[in-house]
Amino acid sequence: MALPASAPDATRTEELGRELDRLRAEIVTGRGAADAHYIHTVIAVQRGCEVAGRCALAVSLLPPAWVAGTTLLALAKTLDNMELGHNILHGQWDWLGDPAIHSTTWEWDFATPAAAWKRTHNHQHHTYTNVVGRDRDLGYTVLRMAPEQPWHPVHLLQPVFAALLAPVFEWGIALYDLEVDAVPSGRKSLRSFLGEATTLLRKAVRQSAKDYVLFPLLAGPSALPCLLGNLTASAARNIWAHTVIFCGHFPADVHTFTYTEEEIEGESRGEWYLRQIQGSANIEGGPLLHVLSGNLSHQIEHHLFPDLPSNRYAELAPQVREICARHGLPYVSGPLWRQYASMWGRVLRHALP
């Protein structure tokens, strides 16, 4: 259920803003060699898993090689998408001064080109988080996730859409980033739409050719199991990414907002923080869950500080939770199964008028 945004008084909100700014400053000044070592390690592990997975799938006529190869490749694709791609493209690692690990040069093994994704995700979603009518991530233009969104009979089918979307999530995101809906409304020119569609097509062909043509061909007699392994790894990564992202914004207790453009423009730093806290949800679990989810299990911390290195969210979480408790703010957090069930409850609930 989407609740109306609770509004603590202005003084408390400004105090909240100052406390969170202080937390942010502590992390920024403390960034150093250990953080650099972390991201270098993740990159090395990701590439290691990818090479090992591809090698195993090249001889995947042998069932154990198929299982190992598919698992390693799924792991590599997940790390590339979540802990590396998502976070590097947020600019979390720009401070390293390394041209090879930078938001302006990074490209990922994902259908949508990095530049298109940065526009819809970094800019639109992170600015207008959960504002009905402004945040297109609120249902990704096809699902109805808040009571304020108008109901149409087609929404009766949205549980089916949501389930079908999961295994092909990267393609859903790629099409979504094209913003077809912005062309008739005049927000995007046909010319720039066609330009972006061409860029997407080129990237998508390159990534698909690699997974579904070149590597299977190289596998010779193992071509078919190799192809199936690659399909399985991509689907597993997509289902996992869909799960993490939907659990980060759509459990029942996450708020949606009906702010006008002027209200968003006039938002203070404290009010912005407040909306980010109320519009996100965390997933509780161990370190492996956090790494594999790209630390989006700390979705609240990520939305407060999208450009701080993801490896620091775990140490920020208890402090943010404490601040929320002190200010009487909700801090939506729970184990994966509970957030997942809650998210589906919301999908089902809003399928109906």
Partner 1 sequence: MVHSFRAPPILPWAWLVNRLTSPLTVDDYLGMLDPLWSARHPAGRVGAVRPEGPGAATLTIRPGRGWTGHRAGQYLPVGVEIDGVRHWRTYSITSPPGDSDVTLAVKAHPDGRVSPHMVHRTVPGTVLRLGPAQGEFTLPEPLPDRILFITAGSGITPVMGMLRTLARCRTAPDTLLLHSAPTPAECLFRDELATLEQELPWLRIHLNHTRYDGRLTSDRIAGVCPDWRDRDAWVCGPAGLLDTAERQWASVGLEGRLRVERFHLTPVQPPGEGAVGGRVRFARSGVETDAAAGTPLLAVGEAAGVPMPYGCRRGLCFGCLVPLVEGRVRDLRSGELRHGQSELIQTCVNAAAGSLTLDL
Q: Which residues bind partner 1 (CB under 8 A)?
A: 31-37, 43-44, 47, 51, 95-100, 102, 104-105, 107-109, 114-115, 118-119, 192, 195-196, 198-199, 203, 206-207, 209-210, 214-215, 218
Q: Token digits for 18?
A: 């100052």
Q: Residue 198 or residue 268: which is nearer to partner 1 going by CB?
A: 198
* DSSP characters over 127-194: HSTTBTTT-TTTTTTTS--STTSPP-GGGGGHHHHHHHHGGGHHHHHHHHHHTGGGTTTTSS-HHHHH
Report the amino acid identity of residue 267: E
Report d(CA 152, CA 261) in Å as an integer.
25
Report the nearest approach of partner 1 to the CB of residue 35 (Å).
Answer: 6
Nearer to partner 1, 108 or 273 (CB): 108
What's the min distance (Å) between Cβ of 193 and partner 1? 11
Residue closer to partner 1 by CB (options 70, 276) is: 70
Please say which residue, 108 or 340, places its beta carbon nearer to partner 1: 108
What's the min distance (Å) between Cβ of 36 and partner 1?
Answer: 3
Q: Which is nearer to partner 1, 115 or 341 (CB)?
A: 115
The residue type found at 341 is: A
Which two structure tokens, joined as six digits, stand for 290?
């956090």
Q: Are 114 and 85 in contact (CB under 8 A)?
A: yes
Cβ proximity to partner 1, 206 vs 326, nearer residue: 206
Cβ 339 to partner 1, closest distance in Å?
31
- Minimum gap (Å) between residue 33 Cβ and partner 1: 4
Beta-strand ranges (E) seen in the chain are: 282-284, 333-335
Close Cβ partners of 171 (under 8 Å, ≥ 6 residues apart): 111
H/E/C letters for each residue in 15-46?
Answer: HHHHHHHHHHHHHHHHCCHHHHHHHHHHHHHH
Helix 336-349 with 158-165: angle, nearest 10 deg: 140
Nearest CB to partner 1, comparing residues 78 and 280: 78
Residue 22 CA to residue 37 CA, distance in Å, equals 25
Smallest gap from residue 89 Cβ to partner 1 (A): 10
- Shortest distance, position 123 Cβ to partner 1, whole Å: 9
Q: Which residues pair with 257 in a beta bridge?
A: 131
Shortest approach of partner 1 to residue 96 CB, angstroms?
6
Residue placing its CB nearer to partner 1 in the complex, 204 or 235: 204
Strand partners, 334: 283
Closest CA to 310 of 72, 38, 56, 7: 38
